[in-house]
Amino acid sequence: MLFYSLPESLMLAAAALAIDWVVGDPKWPTHPVIMIGRFIRYLERRLYPEGVEMKSGTLKRRGIVLTLATTLLSLALLWLMTTIAALIHPWLGYAVSAWFISTTMAVKGLKDAAMLVYRPLAAGDLGQARKYVGYIVSRDTAAMNEKDAARAAVETVAENTVDAFVSPFLFALIGGAPLAMLYRAANTLDSMVGYRSDRYVHFGWASARFDDVLNYIPARISGMLLALAALISPGQSAVRAVKAIAVFAGRHPSPNSGIPESAVAGALGIELGGRNVYFGRVSERACLGWPLRPLAAIDIVMAIRLLYIVSIIVFAGVVGLWFYVR
């Protein structure tokens, strides 16, 4: 179903978050995100075959088709499945909705992926750390030093506080599993084709812009939540997090990513941003935060702690609101 009552929506979102905390993000071949990714590649091959030259306007129009087809199909299929489940029995509808919403979140999965970088870094195995960084970022990793690898993991955790938690949770509250899956489809599109590379600068334009629109409000909510998390996390500064958002967020090339990254940099007293390499091209990004101390592997763990505190704050707030409105 697309719309539940407020108590039902609160219950389903909280249940989905609890499932994600426990189960995480199993890489099953039938996992919805994997299926979405396969559909994107299938449609891309037909809309933009390898080796075929097209004008920029044509590529943008075809990219719009890719974006609309992927997101609307995801919405429609989830509406159909959750509606059928609810017609069979209301509690089956709840269970199916909660499960699908949980697949749009990745709090545990993000923690697990970041820890795969942290453990070899802490053990001095830079080669393994580079390998696992390559799993979570699109940057070239071959020349990364320890600081670069740690920074990539911290930035990933910070940015994905929005993408992997706050945004899908918010869309689930508004429109249940169908709207949460539409968001996950849009975010998957952005991660697959939303680059400014030669191939995707025009074809991926619509996907990147749609993702920016969907994340606009959640990113700003995430900044406030990260500052609140820093307030109750030992050794971190909520005041610095808020100041860093005000000073640095606008310098990031993304209208959204600079907010959580600046908040985490300010909270931890480190500097994020700087030089990255994408597909062989150097990208000099603005530095975010004040380097009160050198960035180190332990900052990955501290960023994960902020992410989990944010998720606990949201869970507690939603459960408390459920008790109030039910």
| ∠ Cα 148 155 239 (to 5°) | 115
Mean pLDDT rounded to a whole number for the chain: 95
* Gap between the Cα atoms of 201 and 181, Å rounded: 25
Tokens of 166: 């706050």
**Tens digits of residue pLDDT in 298-319:** 999 999 999 999 999 999 999 9
Mean pLDDT computed over 253-262: 96
Residue with tokens 């989830």: 78
- Domain extent, residue 111, equals 6-325
pLDDT at 141: 86
Q: Given a cut of 70, is residue 244 above it in pLDDT?
A: yes
Does residue 31 lie within any of the structural domains? Answer: yes
pLDDT at 2: 67
Does residue 212 lie within any of the structural domains? Answer: yes
pLDDT at 238: 98
pTM (2 decimals)? 0.95
How many domains in the chain? 1
All residues at 6 or more sequence positions from 15 whose CB lies less than 8 Å from its CB, including other chains: 94, 98, 102
Does residue 166 lie within any of the structural domains? Answer: yes
Does residue 85 lie within any of the structural domains? Answer: yes
Phi, psi at 198, each rounded to 5°: -55, -40
Does residue 247 lie within any of the structural domains? Answer: yes
Percent of the chain with pLDDT over 70: 99
Does residue 16 lie within any of the structural domains? Answer: yes
Classified as helix, coil or strand, 284 is strand
Does residue 24 lie within any of the structural domains? Answer: yes
pLDDT at 1: 61
Q: Given a cut of 80, is residue 217 above it in pLDDT?
A: yes
Q: Given a cut of 80, is residue 82 above it in pLDDT?
A: yes
**Tens digits of residue pLDDT in 157-183:** 999 999 999 999 999 999 999 999 999
Does residue 1 lie within any of the structural domains? Answer: no
Q: Given a cut of 90, is residue 115 above it in pLDDT?
A: yes
pLDDT at 198: 87
